[in-house]
Amino acid sequence: MFSIPKKDAITFLLFALVVLTMPIWLSPFGASYPGLLQKFAIYALLAVGYNILFGLTGYLSFGHAAFLGVGSYAAVWSFKLLSMNPILALACAMIFSGIFALAIGYVSLRRSGIYFSILTLAFAQMSYKLAYSVLSPITHGENGLQLTLQDPRTIDLMFMERGVSLPTSSLFGIPMNGYEGFYFCAVILLIGFFIAQKIASSPFGMMLKGIKSNEDRMNYTGFNTKPYMLTAFVISGMYAGIAGGLLAVTDPLAGAERMQWTASGELVLMTILGGVGTLVGPVIGAWIIKYFENIFSAWNESILHNFFAFLPDNIEGFVVLISSKFVGEGWHLTLGSMFVLVVVFLPGGIMEGVRRISSWFLRRKDPTKDQEVVDPENMPKPSSEKGE
């Protein structure tokens, strides 16, 4: 069950290395502080899960933010009612978002294409509005769901006295804010990534790709495609729920704005920017968008003046004037132009760019060797070769 093909194992190890050393290599970019690192890990997990649905089956859900929100609420309620243990909170988040995804998916998957997208969007917006109105006893409406000193926390209080200040989430004494929180999120991300790899290389994953490629052929080939898609939908909903749970673990409050359609849209952007259907692409997309949102948006004119200080004064003034429109509050402009460029020139996202560049390098290095490098891939796998 834990064996994966060699190529996937290498990808996984590299990915783990990159994720776990993030506090080091992100510091030159000014992004190496726990709050943002946690977000990087959490939104990467969200994108990995979303890709199981959108990337593999091609069904574009516009409502995954709803599962993120449900996960957050479930986690905070688990803190309030049971314990500050993050594992328990994530289990609750997973179960509730899974149930939610099952219900929404069951109805939405009656339709395909644009109608499916609209249905998921409608459900998500409905959840968002309900969180502010009818469901406010559960969601605490606009104030958001927060911890209070009077929370029952039944399991925790069996073992300890009620403290005088608000508790924070902790895993057997390790606090879940700060770098420890990041590493907790990172480990969950790696587990999620591993599972996504397993799914993508399983017969189940092959069927999902078959649905994306030619759903009619799947039917005439003897596959009942509905349960395949529903399973994919529920799994990716659970990923979103766990991501929502992690948001609550690192910062124990939940608000309905997490469920708004813009959050779903952002997720679609992440996936397309990075590369639909690739495992690593959506993660890169998530990191870029979160980096822009948190760092780029904080740039101001004085930073730009420093940056362009080497230019003559009058040119510097002009360059700063132009470029200042693209940073700070204008970061959406940069992101938008980047998105347009990627979609127009690299329909496969950033991963397609990476692939093109690497194949170009391989060819330049040695045109004959390229043939040999590719060939073992192209040959039928000898049956003696074992996946490690």
Residue 328 Cβ vs other proteins, minimum distance, rounded to whole Å: 41
- Give me the amino acid identity at 381: K
Q: CA 352, CA 358: separation in Å to the nearest integer? A: 10
**Rounded to 5 degrees, what angle do the CA atoms 29, 49, 31 make?**
10
Residue 13 Cβ vs other proteins, minimum distance, rounded to whole Å: 17
**Is residue 253 within a helix (H) or strand (E), and if so which, with residue range?**
strand 253-254
Query: Structure tokens of 61?
Result: 């859900």
227 versus 317: smaller Cβ distance to other proteins: 227
DSSP string, 256-321: GGGGSHHHHHHHHHHHHHH-TT-SSHHHHHHHHHHHHHHTGGG--HHHHHHHTTTS-HHHHHHHHH
Q: CA 249, CA 339: separation in Å to the nearest integer? A: 31
Residue 218 Cβ vs other proteins, minimum distance, rounded to whole Å: 8
71 versus 210: smaller Cβ distance to other proteins: 210
Q: CA 21, CA 11: separation in Å to the nearest integer? A: 15
Residue 14 Cβ vs other proteins, minimum distance, rounded to whole Å: 19
Residue 166 Cβ vs other proteins, minimum distance, rounded to whole Å: 40
Q: Which residues bind other proteins (CB under 8 A)?
A: 1, 3-5, 198-199, 201-204, 206-207, 209-210, 212-214, 216-225, 227-228, 231, 377-381, 383, 385, 387
Query: Structure tokens of 255?
Result: 């608000």
94 versus 147: smaller Cβ distance to other proteins: 94
313 versus 377: smaller Cβ distance to other proteins: 377
Residue 6 Cβ vs other proteins, minimum distance, rounded to whole Å: 10
162 versus 381: smaller Cβ distance to other proteins: 381
161 versus 375: smaller Cβ distance to other proteins: 375
Tokens 């979303």, located at residue: 50
Residue 220 Cβ vs other proteins, minimum distance, rounded to whole Å: 5
218 versus 286: smaller Cβ distance to other proteins: 218
